[in-house]
Structure 1
Amino acid sequence: MIKQLLSKSLFVVLFFALPAIAFSQNGWEAEESPLMTKWADEVSPENALPEYPRPMMEREHWKNLNGLWDFKITGKGNSGEDYDDQILVPYPVESALSGIKETVGAENRVWYKRLFEIDNPHEDGRVLLHFGASDWETDVRINDKYVGKHRGGYDPFTFDITDQVSGSGEQEIEITVWDPTDLGSQPVGKQTHDPHSIWYTAVTGIWQTVWIEYVPESYIKDLKITPDVDNSRVKVEVEGKNLSDDYQIHIKAKEEDKLVGESTGFHKQDFYISLDDPQLWTPDNPFLYDLEVELLGENGNTVDEVSSYFGMRKINIAKADDGHMRLFLNNEPLFHIGPLDQGWWPDGLYTAPTDDALKYDIEATKKLGYNMLRKHVKTEPQRFYYWADKLGVLVWQDMPNGDMRPGEIGKPSKETAKQFKKEYKDMIDTFYNHPSIVMWVPFNEGWGQFQTREIVEWTQEYDPTRLVNNASGWTDRGVGDVIDMHAYPGPDMPETEDNRAAVLGEYGGEALVVKDHLWVQDFSRAPDHYETSQSETQLHETYSQMMQELYDLKDNGLSAAVYTQTTDVESEVNGLMTYDREVIKFNVEELMRLHKKLIEE
């Protein structure tokens, strides 16, 4: 939680700087890094992201497999070397918190192995092995029996390992991962084998929680929750596994402990729960209803149950009273203002060191008076979106960009196109239930862009509950719900249209070097397209002037603006905060005032 700032100083130091040293706990050490966050010293083999990883569908019986695993790096086609090291899962191999911090590269692969216990409370139940995310091609063996392969660096995936485990007791799991990063054809975001400028250190292997879940033979596999604000009801679709036609579903919606609606019926039907005068989810009032879902067997007994939640939220575009197309939330126009959020960490790279750290970036966004963020060419663990839901921030969710190697623009290989579409669909499926996500962004600028109209139209049909931004900045194809431009330093706006809302997908990028909080000291390869302020006073004056210009642009029809960016990242120093999150470069109260005026007036 950001501390209350009593000083009017424009430069706020929240925590003392941590030296670039290794942390040692229980035989594990984080590798040396030029920068660490204050949360790094809370990380240990016994405390490596221990929280339940999927708050949207929670069960009682599960086991976290994060912690120390045996580890090795071999050539891509080689598996012969003995395990000679240990890694702290789920931190990426290249990160300091992994305890490895080595470059892997496309010519190598990484290997993980550990023992774990099975204690399934369900008679004849199933054992599910879940991965939050692993980048990129992951193969799994249990007790030396091959389980399966997954290709995708940003989506969760599951293997049923019931047939591979040996009853109860000790089991062995072995995982190998290969990741060509930007030398491959898969979605890769801002990772590169050659970090510089706006391109960051590659991430290889497991980077989100690995966990075991115990379920009965017949169980609830997934939920799809769709709020219907106009009809004061919520739609729930339940996907089951190993169910006969006689199985039923019982769903209860609760406001704290008070039952506010319920529905029962056979599992193949859609369920609708009506709500009397429902509380609507907004950034100012992020109210969430609890949801309890039971699977009832042929004799009416409870076979399986999961807990979930939902927010009553509607997002659309419409013509406002001022005659401009606007973004509407719950049938009211709302200006979106927020930062470009990269989601990178100096100690964990793709992986926040702790859940509190993950939560902190959203808390900081709210404290600075923003009501949205644009999650930039990266996805996050599901707990990030849980905190966005709970704390109240609108999310524009980018799809990590695909193959950007030189070639004919708009004509990727069949393999590239197929993999992008698969991972894009998986992203939408994974995060569909989160009320905070209000816009899908399949493409950023021209990065890997192809078949834009086809992909946008598919998205609008597949998920009609959200807006679609066909391409954020520079390569608009005339489709989708918004026309988006980038302007550095800006601000600026695209021409208004009759059928789409005008938004500013990126602007600002005002840089300020903060001594003792830098990832690199040599800025010879740093970005050269951002303006650098020489002092915190100049930085704040420039930001205030930009806000004054945004007020006028809003009057002219601008509906949203995204400031670059939440934090410094590696060689970029244009964050609202330093990369280690120790320094906020602005006066918090003043930014809150500036943003409130833009949103409310």
Structure 2
Amino acid sequence: MKQLKTRWADKLEKDHVLKEYPRPSLRRKSYVNLNGIWNYAFSDSRKRPDTFEGEILVPFSPEAVLSGVGRQLRPGEYLWYGRKLPDEVKKEQGKRWILHIGAADQCAAVMVNGRPAVRHVGGYIPFSADVTDLLGAAENELTVRIQDHSDRVFLARGKQKLERGGMFYTAQSGIWQTVWMEQVPDDHIYGIKITPRYDEGEVEVLVRSRRERGVVFTVCSGETQAAGAEGCTNRPVRIPLKEIHRWSPEDPFLYRLRIRMGEDEAESYFAMRKISAERDQRGIPRLFLNNRPYFQKGVLDQGYWPDGLYTAPSDEAMIFDIMEMKRLGFNMLRKHMKIEPERWYYHCDRLGMLVWQDMVCGGAPYRHWYVTYAATAMELFHIRPSDRYYRLLGRRDVKSRARFMQEMKETVRALYNHPSIVVWVIFNEGWGQFDANAVTEAARREDASRLLDSASGWFDQGGGDFWSIHNYFFPLKVRPEKRVAALTEFGGYCLKVKGHSMCPGMYGYRIYGSRKELGRGYASLMGREVAAQIDRGLSASVYTQLSDVEEEVNGIYTYDREVLKIDENIIKKCNEKLVIKE
């Protein structure tokens, strides 16, 4: 496999790796970034090794070339990280130090000065610990122990596979998002939950704290006089807005929110937007944005990088993907089987890009003959099999099903405040699917403000807000349905670009030999499969995919983001036609 690098890898400075503030939805002045050079060691024992064997660039996983390691963590092994904490991290009367890890794949045990700080299971959800009482008077050492079973157990893994190939990619492990610390008062804000009440012209804010305290809010728009409100923590507070400036991809306006609780002060932001499923004037179920029909033209986004795997080499690289798709006329990204660092969602919020967020799949190994080949055939003949065949779908273990439910709720809570997210995608193509209708309703109880794609692709159980279609092989014909019709995967047209492909093999759904031929095929597909179906009820589309990934060469861009494989004028013209006529 040929190693590719992106342009941002050459600009990477080991002392300034992903230094941007990692939690824009709750920002404080205190911020200590711990990314950079750490020590590492592999072992086959839970006991800490006597010495480290080298240096690793955090937050890149050891499998990623940017980490400087280039070794895969295998099931049964342990990966150890170690570093000294900065001198500024020291005990201070009336203050607490909170350690944050954006994500560590899959099982993490964190220690400060050899004493346990926190354990966490799950490779995609951020976690934290108050480490104040573990700090010493002199030097302080931070140690992290990682285990990653990858696709050998039922934990969430997305599209990672130890034996990569085709639609499954290199498994990565360890710390892959920013590690940082902040100093807070003894009595501090634990978290916030922001819900725009669009029709009422209000925003609802819930501030969480250890015990009930008074809290003061200030809302600034830059257009009207600041609005203020007071209330109590652990209770929702409604703040009326004098004038509403609507958020949309065309006008991604954000309000600034300041929060003060005692000695603790923080900043956040929100947007006034509403996503709903309604019937249009002809009685067709449609996606509505801010109470008007709105066609969502999207791209499947795997979030993989040739040099960083799960971790983008820089903030600028993440922005590039979003802005390029927006420039080409897309207004939505479906984040596929991965949860990004919070800054990615922040950029979608401020730049104006709608997001459909997948829950990350897991479960025991699936029966691929069933979830791929048999499922495709059943879909052709409109056969709807039950998703209670747990063994075939990799969910025989009760603990496996409980773990998915837990992580689904954690995902919603972690990303709730980002207005760009408008749809939660619960299951995809039967991968680890079970009891979809019950799981979907549990998700709705967590978040009633967004729409739910219960079963993207096949194994549809009739629930959720969408008839969610994957169509790579057959002519598409949208038929009347009680739910919104969405083409949530299609295309996957392939072109291998010499010098910009990683693998000798190719994977995709239709192979083209030149950029010109690919452009013609894309234009024909968009007209036939998408534009022609809008009048029949189609309300969203998701083209596969944003970039090549390893053997998959079906991207709009090459894996290294250097070559736009389809003429940009063709893409723009196709997207201009994707409009719901009112």
| Pairing 1:584–2:575 present | no
Q: Report the counterpart of residue 405 of structure 1 in structure 2.
A: 365
User: d(CA) in 2 for partners of 1:261 and 1:496?
Assistant: 46
Shift in CA distance, 273/122, structure 1 to aligned 2, threshold 3 Å: farther
| Pairing 1:324–2:261 present | no
Following superposition of structure 1 onto structure 2, how do residues 99-114 of structure 1 map, counting pairs within 5 Å?
A: 99-114=68-83
Secondary structure of the structure 2 residue equivalent to 1:88: strand
Q: TM-score, normalised by structure 2?
A: 0.93
User: d(CA) in 2 for partners of 1:153 and 1:56?
Assistant: 21
Q: Report the counterpart of residue 352 of structure 1 in structure 2.
A: 312
Q: Report the counterpart of residue 560 of structure 1 in structure 2.
A: 540
1:480 to 454, 464, 469: 464
Q: Report the counterpart of residue 443 of structure 2 in structure 1.
A: 459
Q: CA deviation at 1:310?
A: 0.3
The answer as to whether partners of 1:489 and 1:509 remain within 8 angstroms in 2 is no
Q: Report the counterpart of residue 392 of structure 1 in structure 2.
A: 352
Q: Report the counterpart of residue 125 of structure 1 in structure 2.
A: 95
Any stretches of 5+ residues in structure 1 without a counterpart?
1-19, 21-32, 297-302
Q: CA deviation at 1:368?
A: 0.8
1:453-496, CA deviations, whole angstroms, 9 ceiling, x for partnerless residues? 11001111220000000110011010000011111156625533
Shift in CA distance, 475/483, structure 1 to aligned 2, threshold 3 Å: same
Shift in CA distance, 200/277, structure 1 to aligned 2, threshold 3 Å: same
Secondary structure of the structure 1 residue equivalent to 2:566: coil
Amino acid at match of 2:43: T
Secondary structure of the structure 2 residue equivalent to 1:170: coil
User: d(CA) in 2 for partners of 1:218 and 1:162?
Assistant: 14
Secondary structure of the structure 2 residue equivalent to 1:471: strand
Q: Report the counterpart of residue 63 of structure 2 in structure 1.
A: 94
1:62 to 31, 44, 47: 31
1:283-314, CA deviations, whole angstroms, 9 ceiling, x for partnerless residues? 10000000000003xxxxxx101000001011
Amino acid at match of 1:513: K
**Which region of structure 1 is more displaced relative to structure 2, 383-392 or 546-555?**
546-555
Q: Report the counterpart of residue 241 of structure 2 in structure 1.
A: 275
Amino acid at match of 2:295: F
Q: Report the counterpart of residue 378 of structure 1 in structure 2.
A: 338
Q: Report the counterpart of residue 304 of structure 1 in structure 2.
A: 264
User: d(CA) in 2 for partners of 1:600 and 1:561?
Assistant: 12
Q: Report the counterpart of residue 444 of structure 1 in structure 2.
A: 428
The answer as to whether partners of 1:155 and 1:430 remain within 8 angstroms in 2 is yes
1:77-110, CA deviations, whole angstroms, 9 ceiling, x for partnerless residues? 4533520101000001100000001111112110
The answer as to whether partners of 1:340 and 1:562 remain within 8 angstroms in 2 is yes
1:39-82, CA deviations, whole angstroms, 9 ceiling, x for partnerless residues? 00121221210110000100001200000001011115453352
Q: CA deviation at 1:390?
A: 0.6
Amino acid at match of 1:434: H
Amino acid at match of 2:30: H
**Which region of structure 1 is more displaced relative to structure 2, 450-459 or 260-269?**
260-269
Q: CA deviation at 1:147?
A: 1.4
Following superposition of structure 1 onto structure 2, how do residues 48-197 of structure 1 map, counting pairs within 5 Å?
A: 48-117=17-86, 118-119=88-89, 123-167=93-137, 170-197=139-166
Amino acid at match of 2:512: S
Shift in CA distance, 199/372, structure 1 to aligned 2, threshold 3 Å: same
User: d(CA) in 2 for partners of 1:102 and 1:259?
Assistant: 56
User: d(CA) in 1 for partners of 2:91 and 2:265?
Assistant: 14
Shift in CA distance, 292/490, structure 1 to aligned 2, threshold 3 Å: farther
Q: Report the counterpart of residue 200 of structure 2 in structure 1.
A: 231
Q: Report the counterpart of residue 381 of structure 2 in structure 1.
A: none
| Pairing 1:571–2:551 present | yes
Amino acid at match of 2:499: D
The answer as to whether partners of 2:255 and 2:271 remain within 8 angstroms in 1 is yes
Shift in CA distance, 365/493, structure 1 to aligned 2, threshold 3 Å: farther
| Pairing 1:468–2:452 present | yes
Following superposition of structure 1 onto structure 2, how do residues 458-537 of structure 1 map, counting pairs within 5 Å?
A: 458-489=442-473, 492-498=476-482, 500-520=483-503, 522-523=504-505, 526-527=506-507, 530-537=509-516
User: d(CA) in 1 for partners of 2:396 and 2:191?
Assistant: 33
1:231-250, CA deviations, whole angstroms, 9 ceiling, x for partnerless residues? 11100000013x4x4x3100
1:408-455, CA deviations, whole angstroms, 9 ceiling, x for partnerless residues? 437431221122111111110010000000000111011000121110
1:18-52, CA deviations, whole angstroms, 9 ceiling, x for partnerless residues? xx9xxxxxxxxxxxx61000000121221210110
User: d(CA) in 2 for partners of 1:76 and 1:511?
Assistant: 44
The answer as to whether partners of 2:286 and 2:539 remain within 8 angstroms in 1 is yes
The answer as to whether partners of 2:523 and 2:570 remain within 8 angstroms in 1 is no
Secondary structure of the structure 2 residue equivalent to 1:599: coil
2:414 to 423, 430, 440: 430
Shift in CA distance, 312/122, structure 1 to aligned 2, threshold 3 Å: farther
1:544-567, CA deviations, whole angstroms, 9 ceiling, x for partnerless residues? 111212121111111111100000
1:140-180, CA deviations, whole angstroms, 9 ceiling, x for partnerless residues? 1101111121001100000110110124x531011100000
| Pairing 1:543–2:513 present | no
User: d(CA) in 2 for partners of 1:126 and 1:261?
Assistant: 31
| Pairing 1:219–2:198 present | no
Secondary structure of the structure 2 residue equivalent to 1:239: strand
Shift in CA distance, 413/109, structure 1 to aligned 2, threshold 3 Å: same
1:181-216, CA deviations, whole angstroms, 9 ceiling, x for partnerless residues? 000110100000001111100111000000011000
Secondary structure of the structure 2 residue equivalent to 1:189: coil
Q: CA deviation at 1:257?
A: 7.8
Shift in CA distance, 283/73, structure 1 to aligned 2, threshold 3 Å: same
The answer as to whether partners of 1:404 and 1:447 remain within 8 angstroms in 2 is no
Aligned residues: 555
The answer as to whether partners of 1:286 and 1:392 remain within 8 angstroms in 2 is yes
Any stretches of 5+ residues in structure 2 without a counterpart?
367-390
The answer as to whether partners of 1:65 and 1:212 remain within 8 angstroms in 2 is yes
User: d(CA) in 2 for partners of 1:196 and 1:263?
Assistant: 55
1:263-295, CA deviations, whole angstroms, 9 ceiling, x for partnerless residues? 112223321111122111101000000000000
Secondary structure of the structure 2 residue equivalent to 1:385: helix
Secondary structure of the structure 1 residue equivalent to 2:313: coil
Secondary structure of the structure 1 residue equivalent to 2:13: coil
| Pairing 1:340–2:303 present | no
User: d(CA) in 1 for partners of 2:474 and 2:288?
Assistant: 25
Shift in CA distance, 222/490, structure 1 to aligned 2, threshold 3 Å: farther
**Which region of structure 1 is more displaced relative to structure 2, 43-52 or 198-207?**
43-52
Secondary structure of the structure 2 residue equivalent to 1:422: helix
Q: CA deviation at 1:391?
A: 0.6
Amino acid at match of 1:574: N
User: d(CA) in 2 for partners of 1:517 and 1:170?
Assistant: 46
Q: TM-score, normalised by structure 1?
A: 0.90
User: d(CA) in 1 for partners of 2:539 and 2:548?
Assistant: 26
Secondary structure of the structure 2 residue equivalent to 1:356: helix
User: d(CA) in 2 for partners of 1:478 and 1:600?
Assistant: 25
User: d(CA) in 2 for partners of 1:493 and 1:464?
Assistant: 31
Following superposition of structure 1 onto structure 2, how do residues 28-47 of structure 1 map, counting pairs within 5 Å?
A: 34-47=3-16
Q: Report the counterpart of residue 16 of structure 1 in structure 2.
A: none
The answer as to whether partners of 1:504 and 1:562 remain within 8 angstroms in 2 is yes
User: d(CA) in 1 for partners of 2:452 and 2:214?
Assistant: 35
Q: Report the counterpart of residue 23 of structure 1 in structure 2.
A: none
